[in-house]
Copies of this chain bind each other. A is one copy, B any other.
Amino acid sequence: MRREHVRDLLDQVANGALGIDEALGRLSFEPAESLGFATIDHHRALRQGFPEVVFGEGKATGHLVDIATRIGERGEGLLVTRLSSDGAAALAARLPALEINEIARTAYLAPATRTPPTGRGTILIVTAGTSDLPVAEEAAVTAVAFGNCVARLVDVGVAGIHRLLARRDELMTASVIIVVAGMDGALPSVVGGLVRAPVIAVPTSVGYGASFHGLAALLTMLNSCAAGITVVNIDNGFGAAVAASRINHV
Contacts and interface: CB of A to CB of B under 8 A. Distances in A.
Contacts of A36: 168, 172, 194-195
Interface string A22-34: 0110011001101
A222 B222 CA distance: 11
A165 B14 contact: no
Interface stretch (A86-94, A109-117, A153-161): A153-161
A151 interface: no
B210 A217 contact: no
A200 B247 CA distance: 11
Contact of A186 (B158, B230, B247, B250): B158
Contact of A225 (B16, B58, B129): B129
Q: How many identical chains are in the complex?
A: 8
A107 interface: no
Contacts of A168: 34-36
A65 interface: no
B159 A190 contact: yes
Interface string A185-212: 1100110111111111001011111111
A250 B176 contact: yes
Contacts of A176: 250
Contact of A35 (B58, B129, B165, B247): B165
A245 interface: yes
Contacts of A78: none
A234 interface: yes
B58 A206 contact: yes
Contacts of A235: 208-209
Interface in A33-73: 34-38, 40-47, 53, 55, 57-59
A195 to B, nearest CB: 8
A215 interface: yes
25 contacts: A2-B169, A36-B172, A38-B162, A40-B193, A41-B160, A43-B225, A44-B227, A59-B130, A82-B208, A157-B189, A158-B225, A159-B192, A159-B193, A161-B165, A186-B186, A197-B246, A198-B243, A199-B246, A210-B222, A211-B219, A216-B216, A216-B219, A220-B220, A227-B242, A248-B250
Per CB-CB distance, the 4 closest pairs between chain A and chain B, nearest first, are: A209-B234, A228-B242, A186-B186, A230-B230
